[in-house]
Amino acid sequence: MEFFQALNVQGRVISALTLRETRSRYGNSRLGFFWALFEPFAHVVVFIGIFSALGRASPIGESMGLFILTGIVPWLLYSNIVGKVMAGLAANKALLGYPQVMPIDITISRVILEVATLILVMLFFLGLAVYSGVTIRIDSFLQMMSAAGLIILLATGIGLINAAIIPHYPSYQNIYSAFSRPLYFISGVFFTADFLSPEAYAMVQYNPLIHLVEWFRSGFYTSFNSNLYEPNYAISVCLGVFIVGLIAERKSSKRARQI
């Protein structure tokens, strides 16, 4: 009985934190949700312009915009969750003074908001594509959701690990940002692994993100079967990083309340 009462309290705390985060991020600006739409739109437009100038057609399907969108959304899901989870405790120090609020509650609320935001963004652009006359035939929602779920686990785990390290080594945040930037260019956002040279293929195959992006696209496109993504490898890495992140959060939660 006490377990369910505690679960109910935590659920209400997470709901309140999510609502607070939503108002803080979108409610204080006249443009509000526009900024959530602008970032993927800017990526799509820029890459369409680059590929058009180079005379390149979409590697999959007929729409270059959809191809870029199916790479940008998984990437933003990863990068936004890592960033928000990593900065979550520092941005909500005052809330940790309440005994009902745990550090993990802040993490969960931020992850929920990022996931909900990008689902709406994806639906908006798919609706815009259909309105523009683009035919969309999704092969497997289950594959797309599986890939997205693993991205959430991977990003949350890395965010929690980073959040545990930063209080001890503040400069680590800058180091992580510098090393994570190249991931954007080697995670399959604007290419498929089948177009890579054998040397490049051998290097990127250890990047779990490109496995997940290819997995996501395999679920979206009926005509795409990736030769790269290995479900067992992606699942093992994502679960392993997530478990390490939870352990790091557990070890650093007491310190977070004292900062």
Q: Where are the domains of the chain?
A: 2-258
Helix (H, G, I), strand (E, B) or coil at 24: helix
Overall pTM > 0.85: yes
Q: What is the pLDDT of residues 8-30, one digit of tens each?
A: 777 787 888 888 888 777 766 65
Burial class (CB in 10 A: 0-12, 13-18, 19+), 141: exposed
pLDDT at residue 173 greater than cutoff 70: yes
d(CA 229, CA 178): 26
Res 256: pLDDT: 52
Res 94: pLDDT: 61
Looking from the CA of 213 toward its CB, the CA atoms found within 13 Å total: 29
Q: What does the pLDDT average to over 152-167? A: 92
State the SS3 of 3-52: HHHHHHHHHHHHHHHHHHHHHHHHHCCCCCCHHHHHHHHHHHHHHHHHHH
In the chain, the percentage of residues whose pLDDT exceeds 90 is 27
Q: What is the pLDDT of residues 198-220, one digit of tens each?
A: 888 888 889 999 999 999 999 99
